[in-house]
Structure formats: structure tokens, C-alpha cells
Amino acid sequence: MSGAGATASQAWAILKRHARDEISSLRLQELCKDNDRVSSLVEVHNSEDNHMLMVDLSRQRITLETLNHLLRLATSREVKGFITRLAWGPNDPENPVVPAHLKEKIERETITTRFETNETSSKKSSRRRVVSPERHSPIPSFHVSLRALKGLKMYKADGTNALKKIHSQWERIQRASQNWRRGQVPGATGSMIRDVVVIGRGVPIMALRFVYLALCKDRAANIGRRSGLKGQRRIKFLTSIDPIRAAALIADLDPASTLVITIALNGNEENLMATSTLKNWLLKSLGNGRRPEAVINKHMFWVTGSERLASQQKSENVFMIPEHSRCEAFTAFSAAALLPLSIVFGWPIVEKFLAGAHDMDVHFVESNPRHNLPVLLALIDIWNDSFLSSNGRILIPSTEAFAAYPAFCASLEAQTCGNASHSKVCSSLVVDGGLHSMYDRALYQTGRPLPTELVVTMDSQIISNVAGLHGVDDIPITQDALMCSIFGHADELAFGGSLEEGNRPSTLLLCGICDAFACGQLVAMAEHRAIVKARIWDIDPFCSEIGSSIRAKRTEQLRDVLQTMYTTEEEEEDNETGEGINLSTKTILRHYANMTRDQRS
């Protein structure tokens, strides 16, 4: 069987046999001597302003035949059509779906179906095609609409343009952030807002943290961070209800110049309690005869997908996540990230972040799978996990700009590919290898190698105001050493010092510089990679429930049990708490209640 028209199960069986009979005995020392193979496994995506992303798969334990088998597997799972539906919604130019009330109008007109990078691109071209109505089929997600540029259209099932509200919210974020940055909307005491505390957890917080830390190393973004004579604007993160963490976070903050933004996607996350902690801090510090509402309205904002939670707040203080894009794993380009980034760095930097993501979306939608970076990365993950039994990968950032990228990828893939309720072997495990390859011994010497991914930026990103680096002359030399170290790392893993060593696969992911545009590309590429893996593994990646939401009912029950323990004796408690509480949970909570009751009294 050639595999050209194979079903998914047939393609899977072909790959299992191929891994066992043809790949198991091959070593990277020999595979990498084939220059044609090596050059065919390096893919480059060039975009505007000399931005470049490169993926080097030549040190993976694959042949070109392996890659062809993997591409047939993707075809059997209809990955290309799935990508098109993600990008276009019912406006899919190849299989159009048009609401009934638009039928007559669209039958008379033609629409532009080119998914353009922007209105002024030198590569701008469009195809004209008549769109005929078809039966509506559910669209799995509209999250790509969160970064689609103005001038595009993406219709929902009811015929409305999904982008209209999104672009309107961009304008609102731009106006609000400019007012804060210029001091036109000061805090309750008249001070300019300078610091932002973001409360939340999960993928959007991890994405925001990665982008923020990366942009703190970028020249252009740091110009936007300046805040007069008072230093630079900051984002701080509160991701747990741990009171010690909250106390440490506010230790060097001035409440008069601090804005608190709570990310509460479903409205029942545990971080609402952390919000209450900072609310009390603001009121205690800034009250002084002011009405509580006057303080809260100036210093606390919400980003949510919960209509119930939004109705409890002043509308001017709420940014709603669109109803068609409330999947927690794919909200990195919602107001959850755009609002704090715009306050700290300015809207022009946010526009570049969105443009980078849209650029990657265009590449993802329009590129052939054979040259599509997210698709290739996803296929290699599936190959290593499902056919070479690797069960995950170690992700090693090369510079400070990428320090938080592994944590973002880990949270994203855990949320999208963490469902094991199927027969295929899959893994959502991404291990943070650390800036200094802290797992060197395990990487080089373990009996069961874990694939490594090395993320590299070619620009040193030395910014002019880094303390202690004025006049340093050896920065180019150390950057050279860093690049050689990265490639030495990859080659040592692959080849070792003898025939018995090496044979440990790795991928190199390189970008020219990690600025706002590149951050947008990297976040979008990670999303697309996870989606393709989930599609091939037959997992639904668009889960709207997150961990704290799933366990909310049980948590509330245990909080009631704990309150009962505070007010009753142990003998009376058995009749009060009812059934269904695990014995170990009840015993330890009783010990905790006794201990804390004594402390508090």
C-alpha cells in the first residue's frame, strides 16, 4: 500500500512498521551524512522587516520517507481542511457556508478570499470567487479571529462578522491604555498608573508572562516602558491564592499607581480569592475617606468570558472575551494579554505582536503541509511520542528572552493534548530545560533519550540601558560563543564521541530577534502545533473548562466542611459533614483546623 489514500488506522500501522523495521537500527551519525536529507529537513519562513523563523529537523531520527508517511497520516486526518475551517469559519473559500439571509446578496457579488497579511503588503494579491451557500457545519474555534487584521471578514453562523467586536475592543484598549500612560486617567489619589498586577492562571497568563519578559529585553519595547523619572512600567503576576506570594508581590508596589487586572475566564476560578486580597489592600491603602467604589473603579479591571461575573462589575471596568473564543488554551490574544501589554509597552508594540501572530496564521493556512512549520513540528512530536516512545520533550531556551517560553508551551499542550481517553499513545509533557541546560547529564547519558528542542535567537538583544554593560567590547564574542554552544549541544546529542553514544534527537528553532513580532509568531505557532497534534490524536483541544473550574464544586464542599470543623467538636462533626469525604482528606483537614484555630485564637 502506498499510503496515498490510506485511512488513519492504516497510516498509523504503516508508521509503526516503518519505525520498527526501518528506523530502529539507523543512527543519526549516518543519517546526517546524507546532505540531501539534511537540507530537505531545514525549513525557513521569511516575513516582513527581515523577520525569520527557521526549524532544523535534521537531527531527528527520521528519513524523508518517514516524513512522507507522517504527511499521509495528516492527510488521513484531514488536517488541511481542518486548518482552513479554523482560519475562515463559515467563510471558508473552498467549502463556503453562508447564512440564509446573506444568500441573495452573496450570489450577486464576489468576495475577496485571500487571507492577506495586511492591506499594504507588497505581496498583496487576491482571488475572486463566487461563494454559494452550503449547509452550516460547526466551526471548532474562532480563536484565529482574535488577531485577524482590520479589513478582513470572518462570518459567524448567524451571518455577523466576528471581527467587528474584536476590532472595536482593540480600539477601546488602545484608548484606555493611552489615557493611563499619559496620566489623563489617574488613580484615586491623582497618581499616574505605572504598575500592573495580573491575577490569573493557565495558558493566557503563561503566554503573557513569556511575552512580557521577552519584550523587557527588546530595544523598541523598552522605549515604551519608560515612565518619566519614576523608572519603567512593570507587570507582576499573582497566580495562586498563597498569602505569602501576595505579600511578597505588593512589597515594592505603590497602590496609588497600581492597576489590578483579574483574568477570570469562567467566573469561578480560585483566583477570585486572590483578587479579594488585593482589593482589601487597595481599600486599606487608598480609602482615607474615599468611597470604596471610587477606589475600585480606578484600580481594578476584569477580563472575563462569564456574563454572570461581568454583570456584577461596572461595565466600564470589564473587557469581555468574545463568546466564540472562550477556550482557555487559545485566549493569549484576547484582552487578557493585550490590555496589560498595551499599558506597559504601548499600543504600537501590541500591534506588532498581533501582526506577528497573523503572519504565522497566514503561513499556517496557506503553506503546503510539507513546508508548514507548525505542522512539521507537530508531526515530529507525534513521531517521537507515538512511534519512538519518547513521551514528551525537553525545551531549552538559549537566552533570557525565551526564559518563560517552555512554561507557556507546557501549559498550552497540557490543556490541549492532556486527554488520554483514546487508543493512541500521546503525551502533553514539555519539560523546561532551563537557560543553562540544567539536565545535561540526563540528556547525554540516560538509557531512554528524551527529545530536545533548542530555542535560539541570533541577535544578542543587548539593550542600551542594561546595567553594567556600557562600553563592554566583548559582546559579539560572547554571542558567538553562545551560538557555538547551542550547535555543539545539538551535535553532541546527535553524534556523541563514539558509535555507542549520541543518537539522541533534537530540533533547533531559530529566530532572528525576539521582538514583539517574533513573540506573536512563536505564540501562534505553538497554538497551531498543539491543535494539529490534537487533531491527529483525535482529541478535542477546545476545552472551555480549566482545572479550578472542574474542581470548583469539590473545593466549595471542602470549604464548608472546614468551616464546620472550626465550630464543632470532632465527635459532633461526623453528623454535620455528611458522606462522600475521603478519610485522609477529613483527617488532615481536622488537624489543620485544630492547628489554625489555636493560632488564630
Q: What is the mean pLDDT of residues 66-81?
A: 95
For the four alpha carbons of 472, 475, 477 and 482, in that order, the dihedral sign comes to positive
Q: What is the pLDDT of residue 467?
A: 44
Examine the fold and report which residue of 537, 560, 588 is the final residue of a domain before the chain moves on: 537
Residue at grid coordinates 493611552:
178
The mean pLDDT value of the chain amounts to: 83
pLDDT reported for residue 593: 87
pLDDT digits (tens, 9 = 90+) for 271-284: 788 899 999 999 99
Of the spans 108-122, 238-252, 439-453, which averages the highest pLDDT?
Answer: 238-252
Q: Determine what percent of the chain is predicted with pLDDT higher than 90.
A: 49
How far out from the chain centre does Cα 509 lie? Answer: 17
Pair 362, 420 in one domain: yes
pLDDT: which is higher, 408 or 548: 408
Distance CA 410, CA 544 (A): 18
Kindly report the pTM of this predicted structure: 0.86
Contact 141, 333 (CB under 8 A): no
Domain boundary among 282, 313, 347: 347
Question: Looking at the structure, do residues 216 and 283 belong to the same domain, yes or no?
Answer: yes
Question: According to the 3-state scheme, what is the secondary structure of 440-453?
Answer: HHHHHHCCCCCCEE
Look at residue 107 and tell me whether its pLDDT is greater than 70: no
- Give the pLDDT mean for 416-427: 62
> CA 523, CA 359: separation in Å to the nearest integer?
12
Q: Using 50, 70 and 90 to split pLDDT, how confident is the model at 165?
A: very high
Is 9 inside any structural domain?
no
Does residue 556 sit in the same domain as residue 532?
no
Do 93 and 116 form a contact (C-beta atoms < 8 A)? Answer: no
Question: Would you state the cell numbers that stand for residue 211, as one nine-digit string?
Answer: 511575552
| CB distance 236 to 197 below 8 Å | yes
Residue 33 lies in a domain: no
Strand-pairing partners, residue 5, are: none
Name the residue range of residue 482's domain. 39-62+352-463+475-537
Where does residue 367 rank: exposed (0-12), middle (13-18), buried (19+ CB within 10 A)? middle
User: What pLDDT, on the 0 to 100 scale, is given for residue 547?
Assistant: 53
The reply to whether 266 and 193 lie within a common domain is yes
Same domain for 249 and 221: yes
> Nearest CA to 71 among 386, 375, 385?
375
pLDDT single digits (tens) 372-410:
999 999 999 999 999 998 888 999 998 888 999 999 999
* Amino acid type, 54: M
| Per-residue pLDDT reduced to its tens digit, 495-531 | 987 667 889 999 999 998 889 999 999 999 999 999 9
Residue spans of beta strands (DSSP E) within 20-169: 42-46, 52-56, 111-112, 128-129
CA dihedral for 298, 299, 305, 309, sign (positive or negative):
negative
Q: CA angle, corner 249, sides to 243 and 250, nearest 5?
A: 95
Residues 381 and 507 in one domain: yes
pLDDT higher than 80, residue 229: no
Contact in structure between 163 and 143 (CB atoms under 8 Å): no
Which of 45-49, 289-293, 469-473 comes out lowest in average pLDDT? 469-473
- Assess whether 289 and 402 both reside in one domain: no
Q: 239 versus 197: which is more confidently predicted?
A: 197
- Tell me whether residue 123 is in a domain: no
Quick: pLDDT tens for 311-348.
Answer: 999 999 999 998 888 888 899 999 999 999 999 999 99
Using one digit for the tens of pLDDT, what is the confidence trace for 31-41?
A: 999 999 999 99
**Whole-number pLDDT of residue 2:** 44
Q: What one-letter code names the amino acid at 317?
A: N
Are residues 182 and 324 part of one domain?
yes
Distance CA 541, CA 215 (A): 29
Task: Kindly state whether residues 503 and 557 are assigned to the same domain.
Answer: no
In a domain, 163, yes or no: no
Last residue of a domain, one of 327, 347, 367: 347
| pLDDT (0 to 100) of residue 382 | 95
Q: Give the chain's domain count.
A: 3
What pLDDT, in 10s, does the model give residues 127-141?
Answer: 333 333 333 345 667
pLDDT over threshold 90, residue 63? yes
**Do 337 and 358 lie in a common domain?**
no
In CATH, what number is assigned to the domain containing residue 191?
A: 3.40.50.10490
CA atoms within 13 A on the CB side of 417: 30
Residue 162 lies in a domain: no
Q: In this structure, are 426 and 493 located in the same domain? A: yes
Is 569 a member of any domain? Answer: yes
Beta strand spans in 248-338 (E): 258-264, 300-304, 318-320
d(CA 451, CA 28): 13
Q: Is residue 546 assigned to a domain?
A: no
pLDDT of residue 120: 42
Task: Give the model's confidence band at 84: pLDDT under 50 very low, under 70 low, under 90 confident, else very high.
Answer: confident
Together in a domain, 435 and 450: yes
Residue 511, judged by CB atoms within 10 A of its CB (0-12, 13-18, 19+), counts as buried
pLDDT confidence of 580, banded at 50, 70, 90?
confident
- For the ranges 57-71, 230-244, 510-524, 572-586, the lowest mean pLDDT is seen at 572-586
What is the average pLDDT across 276-300? 93
Q: Is residue 509 part of a domain?
A: yes
